[in-house]
Chains A and B, each alone.
Chain A
Amino acid sequence: QVQLLESGPGLVKPSETLSLTCSVSGDSDSNYHWSWIRQPPGKGLEWIAYISGVGSTNYSPSLMNRVTITGDMSKNQFSLKLNSVTAADTAVYYCARGVMYELESWGQGTLVTVSS
């Protein structure tokens, strides 16, 4: 049974960079891919990016100019950087493990607030 745990600052200032890490315990085989998803308070889910087990990446068209996803699954972790944040980036950020196109296991989520 895989477990995913998000970590990072809970408060980020406007215009700065949001940085989060997802630590994976359990099966991190290269056949999986690893995603970040966010959910603004009271709103729906938004997929941000994924990195495959062999290191290829894919980004949401609406965020791709500000987002970078990296991964080192030999260390069982992958990361997200979102730059030039605004209040609209305030959300619960989830990491998840994917098989094909479904997200089968999710972390508990971490709330990131953008505020000065």
Chain B
Amino acid sequence: QSVLTQPPSVSGAPGQRVTISCTGSSSNIGAGYDVHWYQQLPGTAPTLLIFNNNNRPSGVPDRFSGSKSGTSASLAITGLQAEDEADYYCQSYDSSLTGFYVFGTGTKVTV
């Protein structure tokens, strides 16, 4: 069950900037839990793209950036490249019930 909502798809031309929103609630993003982003290239496992809202793991280009405000977060890709065509998922922690990890619904980026 996804409790974080993302747009199903976004598209952009090479070199453009695109953003992906991730909308949660007061029991997850709005409660102060960090948001993380994953990139899933076709036919492969997801990889961590952004952690703790706006931090990039080693090796991730600085074209990728994240932000968080209130009950939402965003992933921005600047200087869009063909290799960025993939599915992107946000993820956070939800404190309702026993507490659990939650993923976003996923966004397909088309270049």
| B97 A61 Cβ-Cβ under 8 A | yes
Given contacts A106-B46, A109-B45, contact A101 B100 (CB under 8 A): no
Question: Of A58, A101, A103, which contacts B34 at CB under 8 A?
Answer: A101
CB A13 to nearest CB in B, in angstroms, measures 25
Question: Of B48, B100, B106, which contacts A102 at CB under 8 A?
Answer: B48
| A101 B103 Cβ-Cβ under 8 A | no
Docked CA distance A107–B47 (Å): 10
B-side interface residues, number (CB < 8 Å): 28
Docked CA distance A47–B93 (Å): 11
- Chain B residues within an 8 Å CB radius of A46: 1-2, 103
Between-chain CB contacts (< 8 Å), 5 pairs: A46-B103, A47-B91, A61-B1, A94-B46, A106-B47
Q: Which residues of B contact A (CB under 8 A)?
A: 1-2, 33-34, 36, 38, 44-48, 51-52, 57, 89, 91-93, 97-106
Besides A58-B99, A101-B33, 18 more A-B contacts (Cβ < 8 Å) are A45-B91, A47-B91, A47-B101, A47-B102, A47-B103, A50-B101, A58-B98, A60-B1, A64-B98, A94-B46, A100-B34, A100-B52, A101-B91, A102-B51, A102-B91, A103-B38, A105-B48, A106-B45
Q: Which residues of A contact B (CB under 8 A)?
A: 35, 37, 44-47, 50, 58-62, 64, 94, 100-109
